[in-house]
A and B are shown apart, each in its own frame.
Chain A
Amino acid sequence: MVLQTLINALYSPNVWQDRLVDELGLLVVVGGVVAVVIHFVVRHIRPPIKEEH
């Protein structure tokens, strides 16, 4: 009953129609790409210190 009410509240066909998944999905993938770009830039500016040993 509680579960059903909760799901009813969250259920909206418009979410699907509005391609929310596209937007969120793109955000997730862009997040991953941004993370590796940040890593790449930081490493490019300052190579790993262990190489100095």
Chain B
Amino acid sequence: MMEERVQRYDIVQRAYHWVNLAALLLLLWTGLTIYDLNLLGVKPLSAFAAAVIGEVYTPLIFEIHRYAAFVLLGALMFHIVYDTGIRGVFWSELPSRADFRAQNITAKNFLGLSKEYVKFPKYNPGQKMLHIGFAAVVLLVGATGFMLSANYRWLVPIWWLNIDFDLLFFWVRITHDLLTFALVAMVVMHFYFAVRKENWPTFKSMVAGWVPKSYQEKHFAAGEEPEIIPAPDEGD
């Protein structure tokens, strides 16, 4: 008998997710090469680029960085239009008061202080906060990236602030770089939770689109609100 399935992501959402990852990896690779990442005196990415492309690798690396940025930001705009405009998803992606209340129970459960636990709807508040964090960081990294580029600086109109260009450039660059590291940390956390054993079916659903119905019922709330599951009776 075929296992009953519940759809979690449609084909467009899955395609967006993986395009996003590809663009981010390209941006990270080229960005850290431009940054000339120095790990205890070793510059692995610059050495790799020099070996593969040649000594004058910067123009090509910049081109890849630029196009990957357009893919990432273009896909982001598509994601916003598709998921809010067409799928009508917006408010459910923001953490609610009920989410935060329920999150306390999850935290107590995690720390072994309570045997109550919570089944959240599609996403838990941690995931929703990470999503907001990704949005903010990607937008800021994108804006600062445009400001660093002579060709696209006009896309971020801040000339009316009348700030000395060198100072602005200095801080824009630091912001761009620091936020990149924040993005790396967020991707590490996202990846860790995605590949944990208990989340494996959810991870697979980002490829196949569905999770088994039994898994859905065991791990997720049936409705739109978090479901608080009382502690099992002692001796059960």
Contacts and interface: CB of A to CB of B under 8 A. Distances in A.
Interface of A: 3-4, 7-8, 10-11, 13, 15-16, 19-22, 24-26, 28-29, 31-33, 35-36, 39-40, 42-43, 46, 48-53
Given A16-B174, A29-B188, A35-B189, A48 B181 contact: no
Given A4-B164, A48-B117, A48-B198, A33 B188 contact: yes
Contacts of A39: 192
B180 A11 contact: no
| Interface size class of chain B, counting residues whose CB lies under 8 Å from the partner chain | 35 or more
B132 to A, nearest CB: 16
Given A21-B177, A25-B178, A32-B188, 13 more contacts: A7-B163, A8-B167, A15-B174, A24-B181, A25-B177, A29-B184, A35-B189, A43-B110, A46-B112, A48-B109, A49-B117, A51-B198, A53-B229
B89 interface: no
A10 to B, nearest CB: 8
Contacts of A36: 188-189, 192-193
A3 B163 contact: yes
Given A36-B192, A39-B192, A3 B182 contact: no
B185 A31 contact: yes
A11 B188 contact: no
Interface string B196-236: 10100000000000000000000100000000010110000
B170 interface: yes
Contact of B181 (A8, A11, A29): A29
Contacts of B163: 3-4, 7
The 7 closest A-B pairs by CB, nearest first: A32-B185, A25-B181, A36-B192, A28-B181, A32-B188, A21-B177, A50-B117
A24 B178 contact: yes
A42 B196 CA distance: 13
A23 to B, nearest CB: 10
Contacts of A50: 109, 117, 219, 229
